[in-house]
């Protein structure tokens, strides 16, 4: 299949969750205030966070899956997955800042005491920003070998996101334990590959 066509097609797929969330918001605004549950603002923050997490897992899955099914096209889509992950994490942050904090930055200190897991999420978000910002060809050329080393940041970022989630969960840890098991397996796979090649 044509490379450019495939990449464009893939970008549209990555925008689908956004249209789903947009449709739900329209539903809440125009005819069904309960479409996003009893606390729509909280649900929106959670939704964007969950989508960003799925995309982060997808980024981590690309290399092991590609070594099994030998699909090079998949490797080429990793950049789009990473940038989309950052995009949804940004929407997650924006919905937190706009809907939960209501842009009242003077209340941030108090909110951080109430929800300290935000600091961990923020650190992960910064790492995703660095990864998305240097995912272009020009940065890869300029950084050379260091680019690969820098892009290993995706692993500590994933670990920080899991800590962020554990902290949010408070009582039911089933979901976060499942995500942790998946990420741990992917990390182990990565370390094994690295140990083999060195």
What DSSP line would sit under 83-130, residue for residue? HHHHHHHHHHHHHIIIIISTT-GGGHHHHHHH-THHHHHHHHHHHHHH
Q: How far is CA 45 from CA 40, 67, 130, 152, in A?
A: 9, 35, 22, 27
Contacts for 25 with CB less than 8 Å, ≥ 6 apart = 36, 40, 44
- Interaction mask 46-75, ligand HEM, x per CB under 6 A: x--xx-xx--x-------------------
| CB half-sphere exposure, 54, CA atoms < 13 A | 9
Question: How near is the Cβ of 86 to ligand HEM at its closest, in Å?
Answer: 8
Smallest separation (angstroms) from ligand HEM to the CB of 98: 11
| Contacts of ligand HEM in 94-153 (CB under 6 A) | 96, 100, 115, 118, 121-122, 124-125, 128
x/- site string to ligand HEM, residues 11 to 40, per CB under 6 A? Answer: ------------------------------
Positions that interact with ligand HEM (CB under 6 A): 42, 45-46, 49-50, 52-53, 56, 89, 92-93, 96, 100, 115, 118, 121-122, 124-125, 128, 161, 164-165, 168
């Amino acid at each position: 299949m044509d490379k450019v066509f495939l990449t464009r097609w893939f970008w549209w797929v990555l925008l689908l969750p956004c249209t789903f969330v947009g449709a739900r918001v329209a539903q809440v605004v125009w005819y069904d205030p309960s479409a996003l549950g009893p606390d729509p603002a909280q649900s929106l923050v959670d939704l964007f966070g969950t989508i960003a997490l799925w995309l982060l897992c997808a980024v981590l899955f690309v290399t092991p899956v590609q070594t099994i099914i030998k699909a090079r096209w998949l490797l080429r889509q990793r950049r789009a997955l990473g940038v989309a992950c950052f995009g949804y994490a940004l929407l997650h942050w924006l919905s937190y800042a706009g809907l939960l904090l209501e842009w009242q930055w003077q209340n941030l200190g108090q909110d951080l005491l109430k929800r300290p897991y935000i600091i961990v999420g923020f650190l992960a978000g910064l790492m995703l920003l660095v990864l998305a910002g240097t995912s272009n060809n020009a940065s890869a050329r300029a950084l050379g070998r260091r680019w690969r080393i820098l892009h290993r940041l995706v692993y500590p970022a994933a670990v920080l996101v899991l800590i962020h989630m554990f902290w949010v969960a408070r009582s039911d840890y089933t979901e976060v334990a499942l995500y942790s098991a998946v990420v741990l397996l992917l990390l182990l796979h990565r370390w094994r590959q690295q140990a083999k090649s060195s």
